[in-house]
Homo-oligomer: A and B are copies of this chain.
Amino acid sequence: MPGRPVIGVVHPGEMGAAVAACVSPAADRVLWASQGRSAATRRRAEAAGLSDVGDLAAMCRNAEILLSVCPPDAAVEVATAVAGSGYDGLYVDANAIAPPTARHAAEIVEAAGARFVDGGIIGSVPRVAGRTRLYLSGPGSHAVAALFEGSVLEAVVLHKDSAPRPVGAASALKMTYAAYTKGRAALLLAIRAAAVAEGVDADLVAEWQRPGSTLAELADDCEAVAARGAPKAWRWSGEMTEIAATLEAAGLPGGFHEAAADIYRRLRDLRDADAPPLDEVIAALLTDVRSESRRG
């Protein structure tokens, strides 16, 4: 719709495509760049009604607002490529990255003349209202939040007094939130694998499930973590590394999430598996040990 901004989405994976669909009513057009992307990404982009402009440089020339929704380890690379194309619009980094990584990405795109907004998505892929928040910080936050009005993705600007808080706040909130949910999930899987290795797994579950135990739900939690988490582990490992960096930047130990990154890295071959059972996930954790240590 003319008068509305042209918005570009880098990259429309499952989350990115859903965010693009949320922003679409507020946009003249929503662009994506098919160069080097998979057939699955193309299907998602077409289903979300996105217009293919070919490559990232063309998207940077045509878009006034860019949304970066990519695996955490690609966030700085994307910001660097966007800055390299001379983009000078509004750049929203909605990735699961540490505050120092967000500030680094901001410096890169701001040096090219663009404005940087820090975003952090908490919740599931937005398809139904009330399940997903996009937290925002940095001076352009209100303009970004306005794009999502009326959508199923609730945009929340983090304030201090009446101004948006600086770049880094939205990322910090995303990091500390996922630090528990995904950190605890990795901890549970590691513990069950250790219990299997030591031959005490049934005893551990029995102890958790004793009458009156407050841990009775843990065995079910482990099954759910295996079924729902292991297929996403390939991209959670990078997120865990960013969380470790978040804690270390605060002078706290990064070891919880370095270990979680290791656990999820061992599960990379279960990418997109259909609800793998816990014993299969534990077997992957325990058999990967030697190959992982060689890989370094």
Interface positions of A (Cβ within 8 A of B): 99, 122, 130, 133, 135, 158, 160, 165, 168-169, 172-173, 175-177, 179-181, 183-184, 186-188, 190-191, 193-195, 197-200, 203-204, 207-208, 212, 215, 218, 246-247, 250-256, 258-260, 262-263, 285-286, 289-290
Contact = CB atoms under 8 A, between A and B. Distances in A.
A252 to B, nearest CB: 5
8 contacts: A172-B200, A173-B204, A180-B187, A186-B256, A190-B247, A251-B290, A252-B263, A252-B286
Given A158-B203, A184-B187, A260-B256, A247 B177 contact: no
A194 B246 contact: yes
A262 B251 contact: no
B246 A207 contact: no
A289 B251 contact: yes
B263 A218 contact: no
B180 A195 contact: no
A172 B158 contact: no
Nearest to A189: B252
The listed residue with most B CB atoms (<10 A of its CB), out of A122, A198, A259, is: A198
Contact of A253 (B165, B190, B290): B190
Contacts of A188: 180
Given A122-B207, A173-B207, A176-B194, A253 B259 contact: yes
Contacts of A263: 252-253
Contacts of A173: 195, 200, 203-204, 207
B256 A190 contact: yes
A179 B200 contact: no
A75 B167 CA distance: 49
B168 A194 contact: no
A57 B50 CA distance: 81
Contacts of A199: 160, 165, 169, 172
